[in-house]
Amino acid sequence: MRQRKWLLMTVGGLFMFFGKANAADLKVGDPAPDFTAPASDGSQVHLKDKIGSTPIVLYFYPKDDTPGCTKEACGLRDNFTAFRKLNATVYGISYDTVDSHREFIKKYNLPFLLLSDQDKKIAELYGAKGSLFAKRMTFVVDKTGKIAWLNPSVNPSTHSKELEEVLSKLQ
């Protein structure tokens, strides 16, 4: 009995600590929730203004310069030529500051913008909100502003190739 209670409390605590992915709230075909966020280049990215010309990749990740997040970002960097050929725009989103994003980009020579979601509102809109860190999730928004694809449990090692396949089908 004690072990079961301990297990339930531990699992519950982990969900409270890391949050629970709510991607089921957004489905393929739903309009992508609009947001404005500070970007690593000093600009403000307003999603509504970016919709129409290219598919948009919104990838949520927990923290700059941590092992899984670095693997994921560098995989996207290494395959970025393919994303350009597919006319895709890529944005990484985490709770980190713009300054932290700039350092991460500089250290790993990342060719895409990172958006700061310090108030966790974008992550909440997309079901990627966790208490301390954003959940690792990815959304592809098509040229009409609708969710074309989502992955609520991204594998950092295969993420880039998976996105390339998804984006090639949107052409």
For residue 19, the one-letter residue type is G
Q: What is the DSSP letter of 154?
A: -
Alpha carbon 146 to its chain centroid, in Å, reads 16
Using the CB atoms, write b or e for 54-78: b if 16+ within 10 Å.
bbbbbbbbbbbeeeebbebbebbbe
Distance CA 74, CA 108 (A): 7
Residues with catalytic function: 69
Class of residue 170 by CB neighbours under 10 A (exposed 0-12, middle 13-18, buried 19+): middle
In this structure, what token pair is assigned to residue 68? 């899984």
Of 55, 50, 12, 32, the residue nearest 127 (C-alpha): 32
